[in-house]
Amino acid sequence: MKNIYGVTYLELENYFLEKNDKKFKATQVFDWVYKKRINSFDEMRNVSKETINTMKSDFYFEKLEIIDKREDTDVAKYLFKLKDKEKVEAVLMYHDYGTSICISTQVGCNMGCKFCESGRLKKVRNLEVYEMVSQILMVEEDINMRISHIVLMGIGEPFDNYDNVIKFIDIVNCGKGIDIGSRHITVSTCGIVPKIKEFTNYDKQVNLAISLHAPNNKIRDSIMNINKVYKIEDIIDVVKEYINKTNRRVTFEYIMLKNINDSVSCAEELSALLKGLNCYVNLIPYNETSHIEYKKSDKDTILKFYDILKKNNIGVTIRREFGSKVNAACGQLRSHYEEV
Ligand code: SAH
């Protein structure tokens, strides 16, 4: 038995073909499940009883349970309980251009970034495809509104759960279903180079963001364990390959950590590193968390850093701060519940 929310459109077409049935039934089923949002096979009024009975023996409907919701201006944070009682979170943000949701891809994370709350609690398991799709469906149901943008920046490392993440993107992007445009979907990775390489060949125009957070290996080594495996040069090389192949602009995320990576010389070094690349830098004011000693950079320091990148012709934005009151930093709400 498979959860229906974990099945891609192509898989469903193949399912019907294998049953010697018509593949257009996949269109009907996706329409009921994702356009009309029904919750059981019996509601599929234009599908034959026979097909419904067959499907009932192979698939089931089940979403997650919302166990907490916290709201602040323009932001809502959801905590979900999974079947095995594990918890993950998603953050909904309201912008002038629409609504975005930041979803989790794993329970915990093994990447061990020193500043990150999610990594404090080690990875328990990957999320199943349906568990990622459910986060979207349940939040849309809760707000009674469609979400326009998805970022895979919640708990977990998407490229450490690559196959499920790709299936998830296939499902939410499918025009017969949820239909969120690929340009409205962003995957963020701490820099797993072989997976970035693989992603270079992915045929959808999904955005790629890379958590760089440092202009050199010395600083990066001290805050991100992954840098012991894949160095900054390896990342830049694979990003060049990605840009050449896809013609797409890459985002580099850069958390501003007080006295760690926020100096003038860091800004100059970062500018030199990224010079000529089709990219931009998203400066992220660090969301402080009680368990971790890093502090966020002062506003003036962030602005100075921004100006230096600008002056060096590097595209740069400063991320708007959301929801520090609702524990919106990656992994904070879950960690609050798993208090150790
Ligand atoms: N593992 C992926 C995606 C999840 S983290 C990645 O590393 O990109 C999403 C982003 O939030 C990353 O850039 C991460 O470094 C950043 N982040 C983690 N903790 C944060 C905090 N306390 N404040 C601000 N950003 C944080």
Domain ranges of the chain: 2-60, 65-339
* Strand ranges (E), 135-184: 149-152
The 10s digit of each residue's pLDDT in 7-43 is: 999 999 999 999 999 999 999 999 999 999 999 999 9
* 91 Cβ neighbours under 8 A, 6+ residues apart: 75, 76, 77, 78, 101, 102, 154, 322, 323, 328
pLDDT for 333 = 64
> Same CATH topology for 2-60 and 65-339?
no
Which of 166, 176, 175, 177 has the alpha carbon at shortest distance from 136? 177
Tokens found for residue 76:
């809502």
The 10s digit of each residue's pLDDT in 231-249 is: 999 999 999 999 999 999 9
pLDDT for 194 = 98
Contact 315, 282 (CB under 8 A): no
- What's the 121 CA to ligand 1 centre distance in angstroms? 14
- Residue 196 predicted with pLDDT over 50: yes
115 Cβ inside 6 Å of ligand 1: yes
CATH 3.40.50.2000 assigned to 2-60: no
pTM recorded for the entire structure: 0.95
The 10s digit of each residue's pLDDT in 154-171 is: 999 999 999 999 999 999
From the CB of residue 81, how many other CB atoms can be counted at a distance below 10 Å? 15
% residues pLDDT > 90 (the chain): 89
Residue 289: pLDDT band (50, 70, 90) is confident
For domain 65-339, the CATH superfamily is Aldolase class I (3.20.20.70)
- Residue 266 predicted with pLDDT over 90: yes
Pocket test for ligand 1, best of 105, 255, 297, 321 (most atoms within 8 A of CB): 255
Q: Which residues are catalytic?
A: 89, 330
Q: Taking every pair of C-alpha atoms in the chain, what is the biggest distance, in angstroms?
A: 69
